[in-house]
């Protein structure tokens, strides 16, 4: 018996979707998983016969009785994902776990019509890995029937860098495109915003544009201090953050800096229970709390965050969920 995991290629190296899948697959390989490589492309160029041949190539290493963890979605259109799983189901005694990274009908209002189709797709899984309990509750309401569930809790952010201990600085770090997170273009608060993005924001006195950084340089810059901000002023994105997992959250924590998040985020309990940062209702409250925090209290947050960061830097959240998933696939209880 072999254990396989899918992994996408062909997107931009800056794509969070690609980075997330590549990171999971890298960790899985340390557990002796075999990779099933999937190239990102426009499937409309394939006839049904060509798509079938393409899938045969991807699944060439799969045999009867194997286990497969399918990272969902592949971003190659629902049709590709459905045909992929259909072909897997043709193998005898193959068991499949779906690892949900994103749920398309929840990401965009224009995709709501896909919900029934997506739920029917998920219901083919023997085990489902979901980002959070809040996501599970939402999917159950939509008709999810899979009994065996693994909760992810947090993305990992691998690094072997020797990062410095962050210093208390009254500024917020934010990773995100100001075209999507428009609050960065309207930043008029007392404390600076250090913005990491390919696209520059509107000129604001308190916004310090850092540009795009490689993963290693990003962690080194973040580790200089301050706070990591997880935020959106877009109601649609804000609702999605209540059920999905933020990759930038893990990046901040892996750098060793505490975070500022909006109340209701899916990771809120982990942040509060492990004293990893501030949970606030709005940015005004965030600024007030950051400015008024004592050096002693900040150092306490740093201490908790640096300890927690070891989990993320070494891939322990992903290792835990992958091992738990294998147990769920093989055990009857």
159 and 216 Cβ atoms separated by less than 8 Å: yes
Q: Which residues contact 268 (CB under 8 A, 6 or more apart)?
A: 261, 279
| Residue 246 counted as an annotated binding residue | yes
204 labeled part of a ligand binding site: no
User: Any binding-site annotation on 55?
Assistant: no
Detail the DSSP E strand segments found in 24-164: 34-39, 67-72, 95-100, 127-130, 148-151
Q: What is the DSSP letter of 144?
A: -
Pairing relationship of beta strands 148-151 and 167-175 according to DSSP bridges: unpaired
> Is there a binding annotation on residue 305?
no
Q: Is 180 annotated among the ligand-binding residues?
A: yes
Please report the DSSP string for 233-264 in residue order: --HHHHHHTTTS--HHHHHHHHHT--EEEETT
d(CA 306, CA 96): 36
Residues 80, 44: Cα–Cα separation, whole Å:
10
Structure tokens at 276: 């990893």
Q: Are 247 and 230 in contact (CB under 8 A)?
A: no
Q: Rounded distance, CA 237 to CA 306, Å?
A: 29
Residue 235: partners with Cβ closer than 8 Å, 6 or more residues away = none
Residue 182 known to bind ligand: no
218 is known to lie in a ligand binding site: no
Ligand-binding annotation for 122, yes or no, is no
Question: What residue numbers does the annotated binding site cover?
Answer: 16, 180, 246-251
Question: What residue numbers does the annotated binding site for UDP cover?
Answer: 16, 180, 246-251
């Amino acid at each position: 018996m072999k254990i396989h995991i899918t992994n996408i290629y062909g997107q931009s190296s800056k794509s969070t979707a690609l980075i997330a899948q590549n990171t999971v697959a890298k960790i899985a390989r340390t557990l002796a998983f075999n990779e099933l490589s999937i190239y990102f492309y426009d499937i409309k160029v394939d006839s049904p016969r060509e798509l079938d041949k393409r899938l045969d190539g991807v699944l060439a290493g799969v045999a009867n009785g194997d286990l497969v963890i399918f990272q969902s979605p592949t971003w190659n259109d629902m049709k590709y994902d459905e045909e992929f799983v259909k072909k897997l189901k043709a193998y005898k005694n193959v068991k499949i776990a779906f690892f949900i990274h994103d749920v398309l009908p929840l990401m965009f209002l224009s995709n709501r019509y896909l919900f029934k189709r997506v739920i029917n797709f998920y219901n083919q899984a023997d085990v489902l890995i979901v980002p959070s309990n809040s996501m599970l509750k939402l999917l159950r309401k939509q008709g999810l029937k899979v009994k065996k569930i693994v909760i992810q809790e947090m993305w990992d952010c691998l690094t072997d860098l020797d990062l410095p201990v962050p210093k208390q600085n009254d500024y917020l770090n934010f990773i995100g495109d100001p075209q999507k997170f428009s609050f960065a273009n309207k930043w008029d608060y007392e404390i600076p915003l250090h913005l990491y993005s390919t696209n520059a924001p509107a000129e604001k006195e308190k916004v310090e544009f850092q540009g795009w950084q490689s993963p290693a340089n990003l962690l080194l810059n973040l580790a200089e201090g301050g706070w990591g901000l997880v935020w959106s002023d877009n109601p649609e994105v804000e609702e999605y953050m209540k059920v999905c997992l933020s990759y930038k959250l893990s990046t901040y924590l892996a750098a060793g800096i505490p975070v500022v998040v909006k109340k209701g985020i899916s990771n809120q309990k982990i942040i509060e229970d492990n004293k990893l940062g501030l949970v606030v209702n709005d940015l005004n409250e965030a600024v007030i709390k950051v400015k008024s925090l004592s050096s002693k209290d900040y150092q306490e947050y740093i201490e908790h965050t640096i300890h927690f960061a070891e989990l993320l830097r070494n891939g322990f959240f992903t290792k835990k969920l992958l091992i738990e998933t294998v147990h769920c696939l093989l055990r009857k209880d």
